[in-house]
Amino acid sequence: MTVQAAKIIEQNIEDLSRKWLFAFCEPDTDDVRIGHQEVHSIITQILKALAAVLDNKDYLYLFQAHGAVFKKAKALGELRRAQGYELEEVLQEYIVLRKEVWSLMRHNLEQNDVDIFEIEERINFCLMSVLKATIESFHHGHACDLNKLAITDSLTGLFNRRQFDKIIQQEIYRANRYERPLTLALLDIDHFKMFNDVYGHQAGDIALEKIAGLIRQFLRVSDAAARYGGEEFAIVLPEANQEQAYRVCSRINRAVARKSILDAKAKSQLSVSIGLACYPDDAKDVTALVAAADSALYKAKNTGRNRVTCFIDSKEKISSGWFKRS
């Protein structure tokens, strides 16, 4: 009977879970990966649910899509993926589990009065559900990775230029619809070419990563930062007027100036110049807003660097032809 099969699973949960967990490595070796205790816990819960289904088929709903065990199996797949396993390896674990379950059934079931077809139907349903959940979690994870690669800069982890173009368009639309302010800041690392020449391009990459990290520290959840190109960054600050954005950017400016990029002994400090422009005060569309922020940045670079400059402060100079981009 199925009740007998349930007891067999219950009595062997620990052994089954260990064989599932260590299908590709031996316990107490260097290949046991971080998070295996959490994986072991989920495997044990799945096997307990399998025993419950064998005892009473009313529990089959746990293994259906959106059921509690189905979700656990998806979480298991995500954990295995985070541990560095490939989908093929996890599928092999599933095969090991299936083989071990049926080996237990063959050796322990008493043949009299046993509905083997009912047992097989329930076990197959549960294990196929686990397999389906695992594949879904891997495919979802790969899709998320591809999406992240498509919208982020690989070095800094900030949004890339293409995603910035989408974000600024969306935020302009939102600011216009709800009649709320929006500020764009363009940030450029001062004397970055000289820094690269002195310390090397690898140090330059470290500098870009660290400055990107400092930018993130001072932003709200609603803000967005992107690597605009080379050593230039763009920061979109929705619901922020000039004064509010100026305070945020001043904090970033001071934090970068105080930061030792390489180590405390090396004189490897950098500074940044930042230009601000606000919508709708300084510009009426995306193109004009970017141009205004770029003009403010240009003034910051040409009046001493290591400062934050607002477009409104440079209007008079710009209109009189005070500077021209070379």
Q: What is the pLDDT of residue 210?
A: 94
Looking at residue 145, its pLDDT comes to 72
- Structure token digits, residue 159: 């949004």
Q: Which helix (H) or strand (E) covers residue 148, if one does?
A: helix 116-151
Q: How far is CA 44 from CA 85, 176, 183, in A?
A: 19, 54, 52
- Distance (Å, rounded) from C-alpha 104 to C-alpha 108? 6
User: What average pLDDT does this structure show over 113-124?
Assistant: 82
How would DSSP label each residue in 28-68?
TSTTPPTTHHHHHHHHHHHHHHHHHHHH-GGGGGGGSTTSH
**For position 78, what pLDDT does the model report?**
87
Between CA 98 and CA 82 the distance in angstroms is 23
Which tokens in the block code for residue 170? 């969306």
List phi, psi (to 5°) of 179.
55, 50
Selected catalytic residue, list 10, 38, 209, 231: 231
| Domains in the chain with CATH codes | 2-151 (1.10.490), 161-319 (3.30.70.270)
DSSP 230: T
Give the single-character DSSP code of 12: T
pLDDT at 318: 39
In the chain the beta strands, taken as DSSP E runs, fall at 182-189, 224-229, 232-238, 272-279, 308-310
Angle between helices 116-151 and 2-11 (to 10 degrees): 50
Percent of the chain with pLDDT over 70: 88
d(CA 114, CA 3) in angstroms, rounded, equals 10
Contact 281, 242 (CB under 8 A): yes
pLDDT tens digits for range 214-246? 999 999 989 999 999 999 999 999 999 999 999
What pLDDT does 320 receive? 33
Chain segment 137-179, per-residue pLDDT in tens: 888 877 777 777 789 999 999 999 999 999 999 999 999 999 9
- The pTM of the full predicted model, rounded to 2 decimals, is 0.61
Answer yes or no: is pLDDT of 30 > 70. no
Task: Give the pLDDT confidence score for residue 235 in this predicted structure.
Answer: 98
pLDDT score of 7 more than 70: yes
- Can 316 be counted among the known catalytic residues? no
Strand ranges across the sheet with 182-189: 224-229, 232-238, 182-189, 272-279, 308-310
Pair of tokens at residue 129? 């559900």
Per-residue pLDDT tens digits for 177-224: 999 999 999 999 999 999 999 999 999 999 999 999 999 999 998 999
Pairing between strand 182-189 and 232-238? antiparallel
pLDDT given at position 323 = 35
Rg of the chain, C-alpha, whole Å: 29
